[in-house]
Amino acid sequence: MSAVAPPRPSRTRGRVVASVVVVVVVVAFWSVDINWARLGNLPSEIVRYLWLMFSAPDWSKLGEALYQTWRSVEMAWVGTVFGIIVATPLSFLAAKGFGPPPVQAALRGVFAVIRAVPEIIIAIIILSVTGLTPLTGALALAVGGIGTLGKWGFESIDGVPRGPIEAVRAAGGSTSQVLRWGVWPSASPEFLSFWLYRFEINVRASAVLGLIGVGGIGDMLTSYTQYRQWGVVGMLLIVVVIVTIALDAISGAIRRRITEGAPVHDLER
């Protein structure tokens, strides 16, 4: 007795899943149209280009780069603000118990559709009205923001404890009073941190939108890549990295302050 090991758990399902994954990957590799021969000298090519870009970054264009960065950040900021202004009321309507159910379902569908379309495609649609201006970029980011902010918003309102809401209702509060005193106090930290997070996303996305020509740092980067002025490209990449990391750090610090509260001072000192 006791020497018999317990039977191994069945592994058939795991094996089936693993082989399906392998087959899909192999088919993808086999059918994709790539000149594999080029892959051989790729590492040396990449080292060569990295050297071209970063051995002597061309700082003479720094002024223009900073101006274009400012335009990108502006796009991100305006896009975030417009997105918040539109998405917040919509997320209240889409939350359980506030809007009529058909409106709720429709809004949730709209949010899902917007989230599935990349911002750059939204920008291509919008530019037929506003042309190739930074405003197009800002509006595209605002529309994209409605998708994400709306979804995060109604999910967070759905998660608000019901007690305070019922208390305000029982005390005779109107819907707007329920929102202000029953929902907002518990939902506001999450909302603020979503807004900051969306701003971080928009900073990255605004750089990308430059590729279709709405201006900003992405626009400058594609132009100099096409001129093959690698020193300038290297400088621009350095600027993008520093600005993005700095803005992330600021917004991350504010977010932590909002969600974790003020630093606690030791009272027993």
Partner 1 sequence: MTAPASVPAPAATAKAAASASATPPPRPAGRWKPWLAFGVIALITAVTLSPQLGIAFSLDAIARNWQNGAAKIVQLLQPDWSFFPRTIPPMLETLEMAVIATAVSTLIALPLSLWAARLINPHRVGRGIVRVILNIVRAVPELLYAAILVAMVGVGALPGILALVLFNVGIIVKLVSEAIESNDAGPLEAARAAGGTQAQINRAVALPDVWPSFVNQVLYVLELNVRSGTVLGLVGAGGIGLLIDAVRTYFRYDQLSVIILEVLVVVILLELVSSAIRKRLV
Other Cβ atoms closer than 10 A to 144: 26
Binding mask 100-119 for partner 1 (x = CB under 8 A): ------------xx--xxx-
Binding mask 212-231 for partner 1 (x = CB under 8 A): x-----x--xx--xx-x---
**DSSP alpha helix (H) spans, 32-61:** 37-40, 42-54
Using the rule CB under 8 A, which residue among 45, 64, 166, 260 binds partner 1?
45
**Residue 133 contacts partner 1 per CB under 8 A:** yes
Which is nearest to 79 in space by CA: 134, 155, 150? 134
Supply the minimum distance, in Å, between the C-beta of residue 1 and partner 1.
27
Q: Tell me the two tokens of residue 160.
A: 């608000």
Report in angstroms the alpha-carbon separations of 87 from 18, 71, 228: 41, 24, 41
For the chain, how far is it from start to end, CA to CA, in angstroms? 64
Using the rule CB under 8 A, which residue among 3, 9, 11, 38 binds partner 1?
38
**Residue 78 contacts partner 1 per CB under 8 A:** yes
**Residue 42 contacts partner 1 per CB under 8 A:** yes
Supply the minimum distance, in Å, between the C-beta of residue 191 and partner 1.
13
Concatenate the DSSP letters of all residues of 218-229 into one string.
HHHHHHHHHTT-
Q: Which of residues 174-203 bind partner 1 (CB under 8 A)?
A: none
Nearer to partner 1, 55 or 97 (CB): 55
Burial (Cβ within 10 Å: 0-12, 13-18, ≥19) of residue 173: middle
Phi, psi of 213 (to 5 degrees): 100, 20
Q: Which stretch binds partner 1 (CB under 8 A): 100-108, 145-153, 172-180, 211-219?
A: 211-219
Supply the minimum distance, in Å, between the C-beta of residue 28 and partner 1.
4
Helix, strand, coil % over all residues of the chain, rounded to 5: 80, 0, 20
Q: Which of residues 15-34 bind partner 1 (CB under 8 A)?
A: 24-25, 28-29, 31-34
Nearer to partner 1, 75 or 95 (CB): 75
Q: 84 with 207: CB under 8 angstroms? A: no
**Residue 49 contacts partner 1 per CB under 8 A:** yes
Q: b vs e for 4-26, b when ≥16 Cβ sit within 10 Å of the residue's Cβ? A: eeeeeeeeeeeeeeeeeeeeeee
Applying CB under 8 A, the residues found at the interface with partner 1 are 24-25, 28-29, 31-35, 38-39, 42, 45-46, 49, 71, 74-75, 77-78, 81, 112-113, 116-118, 120-121, 124-125, 128-131, 133-135, 137-138, 204-205, 207-208, 211-212, 218, 221-222, 225-226, 228, 233, 237, 240-241, 244-245, 248, 267
